[in-house]
């Protein structure tokens, strides 16, 4: 077996051979890469890496999303001059809070960092000694309440403040779990099951005067979600900057109650003796995050949606005539909430498993990342560039037809 690493290296340096050389696939599509300037060095190729077409969606391991030129301009702008980092964070925070209609906001090193900083804020407030000592505080064990169905891998970003997660089912248990040790209530927006609704969760938080935190990291579109949870009464909300908003991948938004945002900032870089010091956000990312949000809010979201639907339809048309192929267009209810295509076939007639088809697409030219389980090949058009839609349609069709 060759390792995945080796395989990737081989493919990256392999000259394009045989049928592929004549295929449309490697021809630079006309009008392609308009948004991508040309560079004097091809760094990824130098490193033996293969960039790919992302038909998977905004996935951190696949490097999230691509930034729009306006955002890159902000990055470049900030990289060429010095500025006081606290002042920049404050001013950008004010602008973001205005844009999001809330009391206060800050740029974090992603939503996971927003979760740690928000929790830290709920624990320490502005107490300098507590900020210095976190996560090893004197006295009682602090607790954060979470619904049992909301436990998820990202709650590590809350646990790392030293708190204990207390799991509850339903409003009654939630009420009863609140005590002297409770510092926060954590809500996982994209959870598939809620034993306490958002509205009730917020109400119970307010009743006991415990801050409520909603992790909605991946939950735009719809764009309204950026406003909805604060309006509902959550005290803190976090979103990833580098998913649909298409800011820097290592940036995010934390916003909500002013006193909590101020406390979160005290727990953050550039303050050295803090839990957040390792979650540094540089001036480039802070500024670019603001610009990405401006750009995202100003978009024509209906037009975006229509375009995604058209793209799904184009890929659908391209593949659905392969014998036995059945397709379905769908929209995940929350997170990556955009049109997708699911492709299924009879493996007696198209003799390839979805897993094998995904591998073929991944190791083909160009490399295409797709997803799906054992029974389907799924395509997300969320992160496709316009010129890639046709390529994805043709490649999927080719891979399936070759197996007939």
Ligand X SMILES: *Cc1c(COP(=O)(O)O)cnc(C)c1O
Query: CB of residue 382 vs ligand X: minimum separation in angstroms?
Result: 14
Measure the CA–CA gap between 139 and 374, rounded to whole angstroms: 50
Contacts of 395 (CB under 8 A, 6+ apart): 25, 361, 364, 366, 368
Stretch that binds ligand X, among 35-43, 105-113, 140-148, 373-381 (CB under 6 A): 105-113
User: Is 222 within 8 Å of 337 (Cβ atoms)?
Assistant: yes
Tell me if 338 contacts ligand X by CB under 6 A.
Answer: no
SS3 state at 368: strand
Query: CB of residue 115 vs ligand X: minimum separation in angstroms?
Result: 7
User: Is 135 within 8 Å of 93 (Cβ atoms)?
Assistant: no
Tell me if 154 contacts ligand X by CB under 6 A.
Answer: yes
Tell me if 281 contacts ligand X by CB under 6 A.
Answer: no
Q: Which residue of 55, 88, 106, 110 would you call a contact of ligand X, by CB under 6 A?
A: 110
Query: CB of residue 312 vs ligand X: minimum separation in angstroms?
Result: 22
Tell me if 269 contacts ligand X by CB under 6 A.
Answer: no
Cβ proximity to ligand X, 291 vs 350, nearer residue: 291
DSSP 8-state assignment for residue 49 = -
Measure the CA–CA gap between 320 and 397, rounded to whole angstroms: 8
Of 11, 35, 24, the closest CA to residue 295 belongs to 35
Tell me if 52 contacts ligand X by CB under 6 A.
Answer: no
Block residue for tokens 């058209």: 310
User: Is 264 within 8 Å of 121 (Cβ atoms)?
Assistant: yes
Stretch that binds ligand X, among 109-117, 173-181, 264-272, 357-365 (CB under 6 A): 109-117
Query: CB of residue 215 vs ligand X: minimum separation in angstroms?
Result: 5
Tell me if 400 contacts ligand X by CB under 6 A.
Answer: no
Tell me if 240 contacts ligand X by CB under 6 A.
Answer: yes
Site residues, ligand X (CB under 6 A):
60, 110-112, 154, 190, 215, 217-218, 240, 242, 252, 335
């Amino acid at each position: 077996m060759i390792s995945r690493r080796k395989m990737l290296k081989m493919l990256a340096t392999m000259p394009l051979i045989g049928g592929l050389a004549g295929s449309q696939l490697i021809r630079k599509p006309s009008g392609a890469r308009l948004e991508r300037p040309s560079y004097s060095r091809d760094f990824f190729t130098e490193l033996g890496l293969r960039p790919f077409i992302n038909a998977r969606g905004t996935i951190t391991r696949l490097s999230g999303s691509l930034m729009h030129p306006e955002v890159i301009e902000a990055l470049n702008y900030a990289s060429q001059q010095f500025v006081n980092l606290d002042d920049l964070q404050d001013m950008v925070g004010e602008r973001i809070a205005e844009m999001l209609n809330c009391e206060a906001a800050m740029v974090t090193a992603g939503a996971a960092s927003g979760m740690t900083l928000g929790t830290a804020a709920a624990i320490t407030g502005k107490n300098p000694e507590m900020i210095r000592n976190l996560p090893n505080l004197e006295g009682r064990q602090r607790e954060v309440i979470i619904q049992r169905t909301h436990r998820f891998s990202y709650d590590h970003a809350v646990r790392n403040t030293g708190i204990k997660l207390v799991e509850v089912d339903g409003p009654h248990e939630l009420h009863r779990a609140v005590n002297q040790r409770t510092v926060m209530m954590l809500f996982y927006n994209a959870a598939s099951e809620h034993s306490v609704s958002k509205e009730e969760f917020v109400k119970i938080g307010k009743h006991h005067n415990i801050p409520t935190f909603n992790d909605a990291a991946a939950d735009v579109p719809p764009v309204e979600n950026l406003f909805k949870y604060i309006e509902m009464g959550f005290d803190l909300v976090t979103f990833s900057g580098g998913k649909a908003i298409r800011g820097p991948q290592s940036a995010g938004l934390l916003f909500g109650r002013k006193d909590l945002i101020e406390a979160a900032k005290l727990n953050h870089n550039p303050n050295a003796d803090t839990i957040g010091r390792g979650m540094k956000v540089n001036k480039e990312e802070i500024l670019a995050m603001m610009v990405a949000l401006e750009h995202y809010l100003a978009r024509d979201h209906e037009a975006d949606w229509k375009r995604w639907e058209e793209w799904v339809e184009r890929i659908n048309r391209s593949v659905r005539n392969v014998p036995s192929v059945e397709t379905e267009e769908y929209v995940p209810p929350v997170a990556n909430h955009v049109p997708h295509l699911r492709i299924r076939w009879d493996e007696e007639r198209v003799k390839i498993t979805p897993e094998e088809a995904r591998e073929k697409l991944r190791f083909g030219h160009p490399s295409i990342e797709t997803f799906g389980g054992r029974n389907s090949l799924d395509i997300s058009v969320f992160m496709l560039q316009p010129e890639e839609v046709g390529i994805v349609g043709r490649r999927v069709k080719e891979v399936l037809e070759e197996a007939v």
